[in-house]
Structure 1
């Protein structure tokens, strides 16, 4: 009898342990399935089943990647990337064999946050293969400036295209507000455009013959400092010239040059320039033969624009409904010369160089670097020598807001940009010899007046 009682007790103990383990396992496994937003943070809780989890793991060797505020992922996406050991491991995306998450995460609302949310993977960025090895002795990549070397990521992924995007990427980038991610966007509205974006067939820029391996670039802003500067020939002497937004050239060639190699824009800037600048003689964006176009995916309207552009059709939604995007590119649109900046690149520019204190304000979600700032950093990642023209200097009050304005005006500051932060950065990069910033001498500022056109 004692032996029987002992055996029953042993079996009851084994069964009890098994039940406890099953309960623990059930909770763990079911927690690994679904996600819910809790107080602005993401955690996992049980809404799935053991059967669903088994279907996921039986076809893979590792669990699906998850992005939470308590776990910093080692990889930013599940597509193949090239690892570069020089870069800081906490700021780059490494290769992984993890399967792709199959469904979009719940949509996050910007209104849920009183300031810029900080995720553990905030500074985890995709990387591309190492850029060309420059032989240029003056290349900014050889700078020994400690702060620049620490912040600059030469391999940051520059472009978004259909081959480097998947559901895991969508879920990761959905934690960031636009233009740094897809927070608040609907997957079914964005993905039709993304699936059309072609992978670039060539680098944005290559060294010119006889250049000694150096790619020399001018980035031309729209500041009034250029009015009467007579810098046109100097600007055009560069291998490549970047322009953005309402780049009016006709009538101002002596001051701003005539050449454009790369034009950076948003759907808003390329359309509204025709209306806002018509009185200054603006008719279209620069249309140099072979010009390359770079789009900043600023908001949802840019993805509707992209879909219409890449299909060669009218825009079906957004403020640009029924417009034909291809008519805005001066007859020079070519899919092989069209690039879309990656959200990681845009976020890196903000986080590493232009993180405004306004990101802690209630209007944080609209705060971002200017199109001009993004253009400068695109040049810094594709050129060896970068000269800036028409950007804010310490004496900006001496000049009009825009170089085409006939009379002296005041510089306009909009809440979504931190102009002073950008001004200070251009000055810092100039002093560190990373870029050369055009600045007027006192004599020029006193004798030159805005041109009358």
Structure 2
């Protein structure tokens, strides 16, 4: 009896080993992505990529290392899939395990952190003054003229979801449920036209003004100059009525979040703000900064009330004053937002314990959107070194208030960046110069 039991055990062992080897063989000849992440140490296992010939070891990198280009298997495989080159085998069809921000004490940096989706190269501009013809080497090295600007239902799949799930919002989907987000993303139509085009009969240049809300515009009398541009970008609490002399009246592109388009109505009501800009033919661009934005998008794109969350039962379309049109509505892509942060506005605050809330301002994202869709850009109402002279907002004419430095934005870094872009002649920054009184005799 003992002899038979021993033989049975031996055969079971042989069969088990065979199954294991068969599984390993199958893994070696397929293309798949197994996403794992571990926290608690300075090293983070980012992902395991298998190619068609052999399995590769998990890619391990220091989560505190600076972002850089890496020619790893992960990047190579990602680039291959992004370019729609056919691959044999099976690509993962399930969402990766949800990563939590609380597992990281500072911004995690993956080996594909500085790799971005890019669209087809735009046609060469005929505008001689275009910032794309800049001679500034450092800017041109960082600048990606065909970075993917907009997210829509046709440029995201499971592989993209898993890649973007490594990044915290608004740069990705870290901490989010696939079904919660994708139920809205799958409604976003592909843009039918570029955000901006040269004006008919012009010289081919797209000239833009980007108007922030800083107090430096109070009494500036820049309104006519602003409105003379081909296109005018505004964001957040863009109060114009009663302030036209200083800030103009025209709005071509309005950039917002669900939070900014709703809270501006009561935050700035006493300054005359009644509604978001709604010029005829205006284009709306949304920054998807969190789950509440995807919930807002669900209601907006369906033409219904928001079913749940912070804006439950609100009707998003009423906030656009009859000018919402899906052909003129755009959602910024997470790669564009991350690219702006990584290459131009990477704050040292990202190494602090509150790293997950640190991001560029809506104004910063708007300004870089203009730099990628216009030939020339003039920025008004952005922070300058003499910001302490002015109120927080230009519409606070009789309500002097100082700029509030919130922890989630690095205002000083942004201020220095605008100054540098101005000095490098990438754009023009309005900097108010007040005449000094004559010296006493």
Q: TM-score range by the shorter chain?
A: 0.7 to 0.9
From 405, 410, 414, the counterpart of 2:406: 414
| 2:75 aligned partner | 73
Match of 1:275, SS state, is: helix
- Contact 2:46–2:110 (Cα < 8 Å) also in 1: no
Q: Cα distance 1:65–1:316, how it changes in 2: closer, same or farther (>3 A)?
A: farther
| 1:429 aligned partner | 421
| 2:268 aligned partner | 277
Task: Please tell me whether residue 37 in structure 1 is matched to residue 29 in structure 2.
Answer: no
Q: Cα distance 1:359–1:96, how it changes in 2: closer, same or farther (>3 A)?
A: farther
> In the TM superposition, what are the counterparts of 1:16-415 in structure 2 within 5 Å?
26-27=23-24, 34-39=34-39, 41-42=44-45, 69=60, 71=72, 72-76=74-78, 81=83, 95=85, 97=87, 100-405=91-396, 406-415=398-407
- Contact 2:34–2:92 (Cα < 8 Å) also in 1: no
> How far has the Cα of 1:77 moved from its partner?
7.1
Q: Cα distance 1:349–1:275, how it changes in 2: closer, same or farther (>3 A)?
A: same
| 1:48 aligned partner | none
Encode CA deviations 1:343-389: one digit per residue, 9 max, x unaligned.
Answer: 00000000000000000000000000000000001000000000000
Q: Cα distance 1:97–1:283, how it changes in 2: closer, same or farther (>3 A)?
A: farther
> How far has the Cα of 1:330 moved from its partner?
1.6
> How far has the Cα of 1:407 moved from its partner?
2.8
> How far has the Cα of 1:279 moved from its partner?
1.0
- Contact 1:287–1:330 (Cα < 8 Å) also in 2: yes
Provide the C-alpha distance between the structure 2 equivalents of 1:67 and 1:257, rounded to a whole number of angstroms.
Answer: 56
- Contact 2:253–2:285 (Cα < 8 Å) also in 1: yes
TM-score scaled by length of structure 1: 0.83
Provide the C-alpha distance between the structure 1 equivalents of 2:249 and 2:137, rounded to a whole number of angstroms.
Answer: 36
Match of 1:156, SS state, is: coil
Provide the C-alpha distance between the structure 2 equivalents of 1:275 and 1:67, rounded to a whole number of angstroms.
Answer: 51
Q: Cα distance 1:68–1:174, how it changes in 2: closer, same or farther (>3 A)?
A: farther
Encode CA deviations 1:379-405: one digit per residue, 9 max, x unaligned.
Answer: 000000000000001111111100011
Extract unaligned runs of 5+ from structure 1.
1-17, 46-52, 82-93, 447-453
Provide the C-alpha distance between the structure 2 equivalents of 1:427 and 1:196, rounded to a whole number of angstroms.
Answer: 39
Provide the C-alpha distance between the structure 1 equivalents of 2:291 and 2:224, rounded to a whole number of angstroms.
Answer: 39
- Contact 1:34–1:44 (Cα < 8 Å) also in 2: yes
Provide the C-alpha distance between the structure 2 equivalents of 1:65 and 1:296, rounded to a whole number of angstroms.
Answer: 37
Q: Cα distance 1:258–1:122, how it changes in 2: closer, same or farther (>3 A)?
A: same
Provide the C-alpha distance between the structure 2 equivalents of 1:377 and 1:422, rounded to a whole number of angstroms.
Answer: 12
Q: Cα distance 1:67–1:378, how it changes in 2: closer, same or farther (>3 A)?
A: farther
Cα RMSD (Å) of the superposition? 2.8
- Segment drifting more, 35-44 vs 129-138: 35-44
> How far has the Cα of 1:96 moved from its partner?
5.4
Q: Cα distance 1:167–1:318, how it changes in 2: closer, same or farther (>3 A)?
A: same
> How far has the Cα of 1:27 moved from its partner?
4.7
- Contact 2:47–2:58 (Cα < 8 Å) also in 1: no
Extract unaligned runs of 5+ from structure 2.
1-14, 62-71
> How far has the Cα of 1:206 moved from its partner?
0.2
Match of 2:208, SS state, is: strand
Provide the C-alpha distance between the structure 2 equivalents of 1:246 and 1:257, rounded to a whole number of angstroms.
Answer: 14
TM-score scaled by length of structure 2: 0.86
Provide the C-alpha distance between the structure 1 equivalents of 2:434 and 2:139, rounded to a whole number of angstroms.
Answer: 30
Q: Cα distance 1:245–1:34, how it changes in 2: closer, same or farther (>3 A)?
A: same
